[in-house]
Amino acid sequence: MIDGFYRAPFWLPGGHVQTIYPAFVSRPSVAYRRQRVDTPDGDFVDFDWLAGGASADAPLVVLFHGLEGGSGSHYALALMARLAAIGWRGVVPHFRGCSGEPNRLARAYHSGDYAEVGWMLETIRAHEPKAPMFAAGVSLGGSALLNWLGREEHRARAILEAAAAISTPLDLTAAGISIGQGLNRIYSRHFLSTLVPKAIAMARRFPSALDAAAIALADSMYRFDETVTAPLHGFAGADDYWRRASSKPWLKGIAVRTLVLNARNDPFIPAESLPSRSDASASVTIEQPDGGGHGGFLSPRFPGGLDWLPRHVVAFFEGRGTRS
């Protein structure tokens, strides 16, 4: 979710160091092959496939990115580099508007976009009918993935071997309030710096769908969700969106073996909002380490690195133990 655009001193409290620190860490070089796919409603999405010499039947990992992320996000590059090193394949489907071109339709993406996730996975499965397939989601991408896993439990088992959700805001109301407070406002301003201009451009193309003047006044994620996310996607407002799109209520319906990994010092996600063992099905492994920040989980030895998280996720996919 955080792509490391901020430079900041290391005295920042809580999870801010792990959240910001990826800006200082060397990112691996990854080559992609882009595939454009038309959506059933007449729009398009872009899939970035890991380029390389992996065999056609090698395991395939689908990564759903976070808010305003994509295949160039630090966590995507780290995971794809790990997959290439072990002879696996990978693909990053971009949510609408996140691959560098505006949508054809008055449509974006959101934390509860489970139907889009389901269509993407079914499209990839049709393209790769025999390979073992796994899915991971970071932050918003993890939320949408968990929504789909819990709502489409039987279909999900027919498509995926296992899944992982990292730094997911399972309770959107708690996370939405948290990102508007204190130092977290740095991040909300960063997100809004790209979300607002894209939404204003969409409003000018589709004036009956969005109010450009109202969007220009959006100075918080709540106001953005109230003026953009909710009206575009059929919610009554930000509160309705946060309630209905939260993935925590769907954890009990998950039938696919799934890792839910959240750091307890994540600055955006209050620890008290995280799920307990009783909130999830037996198929879900819950991990809540004390450190890791939001999408950080850096290797511990200074200056750190991005390899811990992809190794941990791949180990879970391979069936090697994690604690629950």
Closest among 5, 122, 26, 134 to 69, alpha carbons compared: 5
With the CA atoms of 322, 288, 24 and 267 taken in that order, what torsion angle do they form, in degrees rounded to the nearest 10?
170
- What is the C-alpha separation between 239 and 255, in angstroms, rounded? 29
The secondary structure element, H or E, covering residue 284 is strand 284-287
| Catalytic option among 16, 74, 294, 312 | 294
CA distances, 5 to each of 19, 187, 216, 238, 299 (Å): 10, 10, 23, 27, 20
- Note if 276 is an active site residue: no
- Note if 266 is an active site residue: yes
- What is the C-alpha separation between 199 and 212, in angstroms, rounded? 8
- Note if 211 is an active site residue: no
- What is the C-alpha separation between 258 and 136, in angstroms, rounded? 9
| Catalytic option among 48, 113, 266, 307 | 266
- What is the C-alpha separation between 247 and 243, in angstroms, rounded? 9
- Return the amino acid letter for 197: P
| Catalytic option among 71, 111, 139, 246 | 139
- Return the amino acid letter for 270: P
* Phi, psi angles (nearest 5°) of residue 293: 65, -150
Residue with token string 């709502």: 151
Catalytic residues: 139, 266, 294
